[in-house]
Amino acid sequence: MRSMLFALLLSAAVPFAAVAQTADELKNDEKTPGDVLVYGMGYSANRFSPLIQINKENVSKLVPIWAYSLADLQGGEAFPLIKDGVVYATTHNATVAVDALTGKQIWRVIHDYPPETLRVVCCGIVNRGAAIYEGMVIRALMDDRLVALDAATGKEIWTVSSPEPATAENGYAMTGAPLIVNGVVITGVAGAEFSHRGFLEGYDAKTGKHLWRLYTVPAKGEPGSETWEGDSQLTGGGSTWLTGTYDSELDLVYWGAGNPAPWNPRARKGDNLFTNSVFAVRPKTGERVWYFQTSPQDPFDYDAVQTPVIATINVGGTPRKVVIQANRGGFLYVLDAKDGKLIAANPYGKVNWASGIDMKTGRPMVTDVFTDALAGKSVTVWPSVSGVTNWQHMSFSPSTGMLYINTLHVGMTYQAGDPPKLAPGRPAGAPTVKRTVVTDDPNIRGYLKAVDPMTGKSKWEVPYKSPNYSSTMVTASNLVFTGVMTGEFQALDADTGKLLWSFQTPSGIIGQPVTWERNGKQYVTVMSGIGGVYAQRGGDPNLANLPTGVSLWTFALFDK
Residue 231 designated active-site: no
Strand order in the sheet with 551-557: 62-69, 551-557, 521-528, 514-518
Cα 50 from Cα 477, distance rounded (Å): 8
Cα 452 from Cα 467, distance rounded (Å): 20
Q: CA triplet 202, 41, 507: central angle to 5 degrees?
A: 105
Query: Phi and psi (nearest 5°) for 24?
Result: -65, -35
Among 238, 258, 255, 169, residue whose Cα is nearest residue 198: 238
Q: What is residue 168's three-state secondary structure?
A: coil
Pairing of strands 48-49, 472-475: parallel
Burial class (CB in 10 A: 0-12, 13-18, 19+), 448: buried
Question: Strand runs (DSSP E) across 151-295, as ranges?
Answer: 156-161, 179-181, 184-187, 199-204, 210-215, 245-247, 252-256, 277-281, 288-293
Cα 349 from Cα 447, distance rounded (Å): 9
Pairing of strands 479-483, 488-493: antiparallel
519 contact partners, CB below 8 Å, separation of at least 6:
none
Catalytic residue (choose from 143, 144, 271, 301) = 301
Q: Annotated active-site positions, please?
A: 301
